[in-house]
Chains A and B, each alone.
Chain A
Amino acid sequence: GNSVTQMEGPVTLSEEAFLTINCTYTATGYPSLFWYVQYPGEGLQLLLKATKADDKGSNKGFEATYRKETTSFHLEKGSVQVSDSAVYFCALSGVSYGSRLTFGEGTQLTVNP
């Protein structure tokens, strides 16, 4: 079956530091890959996605590249801000509408000023 593994948290960084959150997956076929972000007390917001190999998703300074050869979708940001403090979830789904999402465990990021 499908599975997603994220690097363990929590991750604590200083403002303007470089961020990497690792995500690897196991899936049959060619899944779509997502990063979602959850701020305290809120639901999940779609941060970025990639639907095929070598695609790069990007949004708000965050990037992730769909690497089929390493089955990875690592999240990166060159310079984090305090407002980036949140929980980040890596997820995958099938390519058809209505496919369920498989989530990673989530990584708590805290950015200190």
Chain B
Amino acid sequence: GAVVSQHPSRVICKSGTSVKIECRSLDFQATTMFWYRQFPKQSLMLMATSNEGSKATYEQGVEKDKFLINHASLTLSTLTVTSAHPEDSSFYICSGGAGDETQYFGPGTRLLVL
């Protein structure tokens, strides 16, 4: 099946710093990628839809200036958490489509902001 990678798998940072998370589709091209946030024991919350070569579409309540998304190529999308605070600590997961309606998910990135 289609493979999606994320890097880093976990990151610890100090409050006020910025963190970049990369999402790559390894064996397919993804015109559209999605970014999710997951709190412990909860379902996934869609943050934004990332389209290659255009601005991301953010869900209601998600601060676009805080969560910067760039989809520079058909195989790479990045999420930058700017000026991170402890409440941004979470599990971030990306997904991409391989040509049909199915989404393939990355392994997730665990962010801890101290």
Contact = CB atoms under 8 A, between A and B. Distances in A.
8 contacts: A44-B93, A45-B105, A46-B1, A89-B43, A95-B101, A98-B31, A99-B101, A101-B95
- The winner among B93, B101, B110 for most chain A CB atoms within 10 A is B101
Interface of B: 1, 4, 6, 31-32, 34, 41-44, 46, 49, 51, 93, 95, 97, 99-108, 110
Interface string A78-113: 000000000001000111111111011110100000
Contacts, number: 62
Query: Which label, helix, strand, loop or mixed, suits the secondary structure of the B interface?
Result: strand
Interface of A: 32, 34, 36, 41-46, 49, 51, 89, 93-101, 103-106, 108
A43 B105 contact: yes
Nearest to B45: A103
Contacts of B102: 32, 34, 46, 49, 93
Contacts of B51: 98
A103 B101 contact: no
A95 B99 CA distance: 11
Given A103-B43, A103-B44, A97 B105 contact: no
